[in-house]
Amino acid sequence: MPAYADISEKIKARFPEAVVNDQQTSDEFPTLWIEKNQIVSVLGFLKNEPGLDFRFLYDLSAIDEQARNNRQGQPASIYTLVYLLFSFSRNQFLRIKAALNSEKASAPTITSVWPSANWYEREVFDMFGINFEGHPHLTRILMPHYWEGYPLQKKHPARATEMGKFQLPEEQMLAQQDVLQFKPEDWGLTARSRTSDEFMFLNLGPQHPGTHGVLRLVLQMDGEYIVNVVPDIGFHHRGAEKMGERQSWHTYIPYTDRVEYLSGVQNNLPYVMSVEKMGGIESPDRAKVIRIMLCELFRISSHLVWYGTFAQDLGMMTPVFLTFYDRERLFSIIEAICGDRMHPNWFRIGGVAQDLPEGWETLVKDFLNYFPPRLKEYDKMVMKNRIFKARTVGIGVFNTEEAIEWGVTGPGLRATGLEWDFRKKQPYSGYDQFEFDVPVAVNGDCYDRAWVHVEEMRQSIRIIEQCMKNMPAGPYKSHNALTTPPDKKNTMYDIETLINHFVNVTWGPVIAPTEGFCSIESSKGNNGYYLVSDGSTTSYRTRIRTPSFPHIQFVPYYSKGYTIADLMAILGGVDFVLSDIDR
């Protein structure tokens, strides 16, 4: 991995006045503050300059700095834009910040550099009220269009009790319903084509069996062929990021479970690892292996749901029942270990909640014997089925270049031929100790994405087997003072431990002022948590970067010209969860 020093040097050489500051954070990569007026050219430079190659816009968010304590050494700022870039050739993240110093903040759009910035900037506008000059369609994206205020501003209330009594008179209800009416002109779409054939606008969702949740797509159609797709998201928005600003570091863990509700503890992992980075906590080996084992169990569980529902989208009725049956068996293991099934809330800052129960090996071993033959059966039933192939081969094709441009990670990216798995490339939690392959396909169509998913389940089985055989002994939780819940063994013998325990349980641990980011290869793509601490018991800003958000933004780009039936295959192949899009 090359060092970072050359990056700021190169920027300084090209744009002498652009770099304002070089901030130190708890993650391993630097944070450069860039003059806001130069942000477009600097980002374009970072993207295209050979040797830098930050071709991937990983995340774009903002911070409302107005209530923040302890931000010594950072430039003055009211709102800060945070761009997180990733370079595949350097295997590095890079954080760029831009200070906006007015109450009515405004910044240039970077949609000219990355088309995928479109939704991210809309989200920042929606949440912070920051205007992006030149943005093609700057409207609210997660909140309803009639919403007043910007939720992630510090002055916006977080609780219903702070907002006054809720009332919905009839006229207001009708007005709010009218807002949801789709007006093609708002989106720059026309009702008639050049040859004056009339297009049909089909409202697909938010209640539709093919969208797996409250996703709304408006299709502009010519007969059964799709001319354009306009996704409308936000129906599943629950303010997970705002919630993070109210919950203590510890009590936020259960909320993360629900961000991507199919892969349970896989959401806990990036969050607790971020906090661990910030607090300098090292979790013990046993905890790491337990984490990996549960993550892989959940990867299989999530892929099983995807497998069944994908087949069902293509009209197959049976696989979904069979895969849910298998998932049920998985849940019985997860239940035995964690006590809960879908949202186990199992990882803790510095370890896991409890040790593995007696007899867990038997349960896991039973599953390892049971599952591979089932996968073979599904191969015969689904993957080798000729109608299934006819429906998926050559449908929804995109290449590696486009995938990177639009922010695709996970199985979707690997199906285009790029062997990129963060478990291998930036091993976390001890994944480098495990032997497994990264399945890669070449064509980037729906069938290849399906194939990658199926092979990943086989690899997860291998990892779980290794976890089972090599589970290290030792504590399941770190002895660090910031670990939650804190170690209780010595509380009655030692006043320091008693105080520590008391404070950490009542208030929760205090994380020193810093920023931290950690991301993992979740079942659907790269899932990352960017946390900002200003030295209190809660996070100052919690940013959740989820894979499904850019994946759904990408859908319109590669689903034009197909039929509705193909769109269902494409949506199924994306493997998204609505809660993962909206948070």
Partner 1 sequence: MNQTLMQILIIAGVLLGTVTIAAGLIYVERKMLAVWQQRLGPNRVGPFGIFQVLADMVKIFFKEDWIPSFVDKKVFIIAPTIIMLSVLMSFAIVPFAPGIVVADLNIGLLFFLAMSSLGAYTIVLSGWASNNKYSLLGGVRGAAQMISYEVFMGLSLMGVVIQAGSFNMTEIVNAQQGMWFVIPQFIGFIIFLIAGVAETHRLPFDLPEAESELIAGFHSEYSGMKFGMFFVGEYLGITLVSSLITVLFFGGWLGPAFLPPIIWFLMKMFVFILFFILLRATLPRPRYDQLMSYGWKFLLPLSLLNVLVTGAIVLFNN
Binding residues for partner 1, per CB under 8 A? 200, 202, 208-210, 224, 311-318, 321-322, 325, 381-382, 385, 387-388, 390-391, 563-568
Report how far residue 196's alpha carbon sits from residue 367's, in angstroms, rounded to the nearest whole number. 60
Give whichever of 66 and 318 is closer to partner 1, judged by the CB atom. Answer: 318
Closest to 563 in 3D by CA, of 216, 202, 307: 202
Give whichever of 64 and 232 is closer to partner 1, judged by the CB atom. Answer: 232
Which H/E stretch holds residue 171?
helix 170-179
Vertex 425: Cα angle to 421 and 431 (nearest 5):
85
CA 289 to chain centre: 23
| Shortest reach from residue 335's CB to partner 1, in Å | 20
Vertex 544: Cα angle to 539 and 545 (nearest 5):
150
| Shortest reach from residue 371's CB to partner 1, in Å | 14
Give whichever of 143 and 565 is closer to partner 1, judged by the CB atom. Answer: 565
Sequence-distant (6+) residues with CB within 8 A of 196 are none
Peptide bond into 344 cis (omega under 30): no
Sequence-distant (6+) residues with CB within 8 A of 445 are 392, 393, 394, 395, 396, 397, 415
| Shortest reach from residue 263's CB to partner 1, in Å | 23
| Shortest reach from residue 396's CB to partner 1, in Å | 13
Give whichever of 40 and 202 is closer to partner 1, judged by the CB atom. Answer: 202
Sequence-distant (6+) residues with CB within 8 A of 511 are 249, 275, 278, 279, 482, 533, 535
Give whichever of 531 and 567 is closer to partner 1, judged by the CB atom. Answer: 567
Give whichever of 377 and 496 is closer to partner 1, judged by the CB atom. Answer: 377
Residue 358 class from Cβ within 10 Å (0-12 exposed, 13-18 middle, 19+ buried)?
exposed
Give whichever of 312 and 478 is closer to partner 1, judged by the CB atom. Answer: 312
For 24-59, b where at least 16 C-beta lie within 10 A, e where not — what string?
A: ebbbebbbbbbebebbbebbebbbeeeebbbbbbbb
Closest to 261 in 3D by CA, of 204, 343, 206, 202: 343
Give whichever of 505 and 565 is closer to partner 1, judged by the CB atom. Answer: 565
- Measured in degrees and rounded to the nearest 5, phi and psi for residue 222 equal -115, 100
| Shortest reach from residue 14's CB to partner 1, in Å | 51
For residue 57, the SS3 value is strand
| Shortest reach from residue 92's CB to partner 1, in Å | 41
| Shortest reach from residue 316's CB to partner 1, in Å | 4
| Shortest reach from residue 210's CB to partner 1, in Å | 4
